[in-house]
Amino acid sequence: MTKSKSKLKKIWSYFSSGLLITVIVILLVPSWRVKFQSWFQSFTLTESNFSVQSIKELNDEAKNWQLFDLEGNLIVLSDFEGKPIVINFWATWCPSCMAEMPELRDLRMAVDEDVKFIAVTEETPEVVEEAGMADDYDFIFCTQTFPSFFEVKVYPTLAIVNPQMEQIYRQEGATTFDSEKNINFLNSLLEN
């Protein structure tokens, strides 16, 4: 074997060993594992196209749903009546949820400011902050429980509520939604 092949083989051995150790450490540390998985999943998200799927009026439980921002301020969902609302049900331990959050932030920044965004978790503000989410996303809310109206069985689940407090769209699973069509759809809800 020539010296260059031997040297190349040795470099490859060090590199592959280092890579293996890095992957093992990432998988063993829970917060790193979720971040790594969400980063990886961000490349595999499918595109979602918003549309009116059906019209389902929110019941009293959903309208009176209590949410708390990360400072502990109480907000009731009906406070947003008259505005379109995008609700994302998520959790910090969910890699798909974490992969979708930048998409949600970008969409929020692209639409009219009167479209309200709520990324809501049943976790505590402390858990959200420990996950590093509080600094990058100012539309995160916490709650004791999700209203049964929204039928949240999968994380993430996205719901769109029109200004008349009717759910018009629902999506289970992580997707991309920062498209011109979706931006136009949300902005058009302000005209109704």
Q: Is the pLDDT of residue 34 over 70?
A: no
Task: State the pLDDT at residue 178.
Answer: 78
- Contact in structure between 187 and 112 (CB atoms under 8 Å): yes
Verify that 108 and 169 share a domain, yes or no. Answer: yes
Of residues 19 and 191, which shows the higher confidence score?
A: 191
Verify that 101 and 149 share a domain, yes or no. Answer: yes
Verify that 56 and 36 share a domain, yes or no. Answer: no
As a whole number, mean pLDDT of residues 134-145 equals 92
Query: Measured between alpha carbons, how far is 189 from 112 in angstroms, rounded to an integer?
Result: 10
As a whole number, mean pLDDT of residues 21-31 equals 60
Q: Which tokens sit at 78? A: 């009906």
Verify that 97 and 24 share a domain, yes or no. Answer: no
The partner residues of 87 in beta bridges, in order of sequence, read 118, 159
As a whole number, mean pLDDT of residues 162-184 equals 93
Q: Which tokens sit at 135? A: 């600094």
The enclosing domain of 80 has a CATH number of: 3.40.30.10
Percent of all residues in the chain with a pLDDT value above 70, rounded to a whole number: 83
At 51, is the pLDDT very low, low, confident or very high (cuts 50, 70, 90)?
very high
CA 77 centroid distance within chain = 19
pTM: 0.78
Query: Measured between alpha carbons, how far is 63 from 75 in angstroms, rounded to an integer?
Result: 11
Verify that 36 and 86 share a domain, yes or no. Answer: no
Instruction: Look at the chain and report how many structural domains it folds into.
Output: 2
Q: Which domain holds residue 15?
A: 3-41
**Structural element, H or E, at residue 39:** helix 30-41
